[in-house]
Amino acid sequence: MKAFPPCATDLSRRRFVQGVALGGAAGGLGLLRPSNVWALTSPGQPIALGGTDFALDIVEAPVNFTGTGRLATTVNGGVPGPLLRWREGTTVRLRVANRLRTPTSIHWHGIVLPFRMDGVPGISFEGIAPGQTFVYQFQVRQAGTYWYHAHSGFQEQTGLYGPLVIEPAGAERNPTDRDYVVMLNDWTDEDPQRIYTRLKKQSDYYNFAQPTAPEFLRDVRANGLSQALAARRMWNRMRMNPTDLGDVSGYTYTYLMNGTAPAGNWTGIFQPGEKIRLRFINGSASTIFDVRIPGLKMTVISADGQDVEPVPVDEFRISVAETYDVIVEPQDARAYTLFAQSIDRSGHARGTLAPRAGMQAEVPEVDKRVWLGMQDMMGAMTMGGTAHGSGHEAMSSMPGMDQHGMAGMNMGSMASTDATPVVRHARTEYGPGTDMHVDTPRTNLDDPGIGLRDNGRRVLTYADLHTVGGPIDAREPSREIELHLTGNMERFMWSFDGVKFADAKPVHFNTGERLRIVLVNDTMMNHPIHLHGMWSELENPDGQFQVRKHTINVQPAQRITYAVTADNPGRWAYHCHLLYHMEAGMFREVVVS
């Protein structure tokens, strides 16, 4: 039985989910250096630093998001750190001074640069020692919306992150009247090391959405006693949880929009009829968000800093470390809520677009939590058709999934499609670090994901995204590297191919080659996978170029492929961007030589 923390029964949603109105950044600490300091014409944005020469201090500073003061790890005293504005084609110089008592670092997420400037201790440099200054210097060869964050311990969770906007060398493809960064983060008053220790001891410690007796009775009414019992027996035998959508929840997290808790109501000003660009950045340590603006259609124009063919949507999922730029055109002089709910529906970030400060619109209730289903466990094993032997094989590759565990699951109608790739698992996947294998993963990109399917709104999927201009390299990949995303959810162990980073050998790319990465998610959790230093060009199920990204979210039981041109020699990090998964071992080193 789950051991609930003492205060679990009397949680204050205002404190733990809504936060407080005072905000968090302790600005005005006199830490800004003589870079060109300026603010955007629209109010409500962080301090912005522009030009080519920057001085950034990493320092502890007081914040208060929940009613209790804490010390955050900050850049120039703010959470988030200052908005950095660069220009494509220039050379930037960033002097980063460490005012902490521990080593630190800054990684420029999604930026293609020399590997010595990438900012990953132990991979690209030694880190920045206390009292020392490291100078990052490199040419800016791209434009768009990006961000920066620590790559040292849990400092990213404690506030060391900020937005980054790079102006194109030429004209904007999609000019707008106003331009706002909307940075999403998850804040906790807890020590992140304590969170990690708790997850290792009890992986569902922060999950208060366990199956309940009323839900069991609901299932009995809907499906009959035998099927309801079979479903519960299946989950119990697998030692898995159908509501395990996120590792850390709104019990300890307060969700922030531009450094402001929901109660603080960050506000961006507009005038009716204006065209507004919203640059969404998910700078969270652990939270995937679903974003919508009730009453406004959004047109997605950029993904991970790269322009895409415009896509009108009502809602989009933004995984950890991804960025999406959207355009909205409000016609009425009223307020609109920017609503970003966590994937586990335990809380939300919230802000407002309005003609004047102080206005607000209705804030939606979070959607009902949806349980993980068969496609999140078994991939391409779809309902309908004639049963194949592979169906039982796929189910039996998960602990507890025998004939009794499948009773009542309508397994006689499960089938795999002819196009479904049957994967092979490495020998290293069969050990205590892996509790699940998906033998027939799904390959579709048109699934919005758990909690968003058939919700009545037009939801963005990867299948909708098409990078303007096509791939950067037209060559067909000459070889494939297949890696499986693996884990033991109960023990909170995460890895590639069942091997944690401490025990893994580097992955080697040959300089100049075009290769294909194949990722198979053998778990029931989403994993945003980030390759440093090179672009990942996602392919559709037919192997054709789809969209260029720096972070690709791999859904449960999904197989995806993307092409990489190994044109940047050096040592690079490659990892899941869920901070606690990376810390637990879902990390590899890529060597390009």
Nearest to 269, CA basis, from 145, 357, 393: 357
Instruction: Examine residue 242 and say whether the peptide bond preceding it is cis (omega within 30 degrees of 0).
Output: no
8-172 is classed CATH 2.60.40.420: yes
Q: 264 forms bridges with which residues in the sheet?
A: none
b/e sequence 565-585, b meaning 16+ C-beta within 10 Å = bbbbebbbbbbbbbbbbbbbb
Residue with tokens 């044109």: 567
Q: Which two tokens stand for residue 358?
A: 């102080």
Predicted pLDDT at 47: 83
Q: How far apart are CA 339 and CA 480, in angstroms?
A: 40
Each residue's pLDDT expressed in tens, for the chain with a length of 593 residues: 344 343 333 344 444 457 777 556 543 322 333 333 333 434 556 689 999 999 999 999 999 999 999 999 999 999 999 999 999 999 999 999 999 999 999 999 999 999 999 999 999 999 999 999 999 999 999 999 999 999 999 999 999 999 999 999 999 999 999 999 999 999 999 999 999 999 999 988 887 665 555 554 566 566 776 665 566 555 555 555 667 789 999 999 999 999 999 999 999 999 999 999 999 999 999 999 999 999 999 999 999 999 999 999 999 999 999 999 999 999 999 999 999 999 999 999 999 999 999 999 999 999 998 877 767 766 665 433 222 222 333 333 444 444 333 333 333 333 444 456 768 899 999 999 998 899 999 999 999 999 999 999 999 999 999 999 999 999 999 999 999 999 998 899 999 999 999 999 999 999 999 999 999 999 999 999 999 999 999 999 999 999 999 999 999 999 999 999 999 999 999 999 999 999 999 999 999 99
- Whole-angstrom Cα distance, residue 186 to residue 166? 24
Lookup: tokens for 55 = 């001085």
Q: Find out whether 291 and 318 touch, Cβ atoms under 8 Å.
A: yes
C-alpha distances (whole Å) from 399 to each of 10, 233, 239, 441 are 36, 12, 8, 17
- What value does the CA radius of gyration of the chain take, rounded to a whole number of Å? 23
Q: Residue 179's pLDDT is what?
A: 95
Indicate if 462-592 has the same CATH topology as 8-172: yes
Q: Which residue has the tokens 């502890």?
A: 60
Q: What is the spatial distance between Cα 559 and Cα 541, in angstroms, rounded to a whole number? A: 9
Q: Look up the CATH superfamily of 462-592.
A: Cupredoxins -  blue copper proteins (2.60.40.420)
pLDDT at 3: 41
> What local confidence, expressed as pLDDT, does residue 236 receive?
54
In this structure, what are the phi and psi dihedrals at residue 580, rounded to the nearest 5 degrees? -75, -25
Query: What are the residue boundaries of the structural domains of the chain, listed by start?
Result: 8-172, 462-592
Task: Name which of 257, 245, 261, 457 is nearest 372 in CA terms.
Answer: 245
For residue 421, give both structure tokens. Answer: 């790739």
Residue type, 258: N
Q: For tokens 């919306």, name the residue.
A: 145
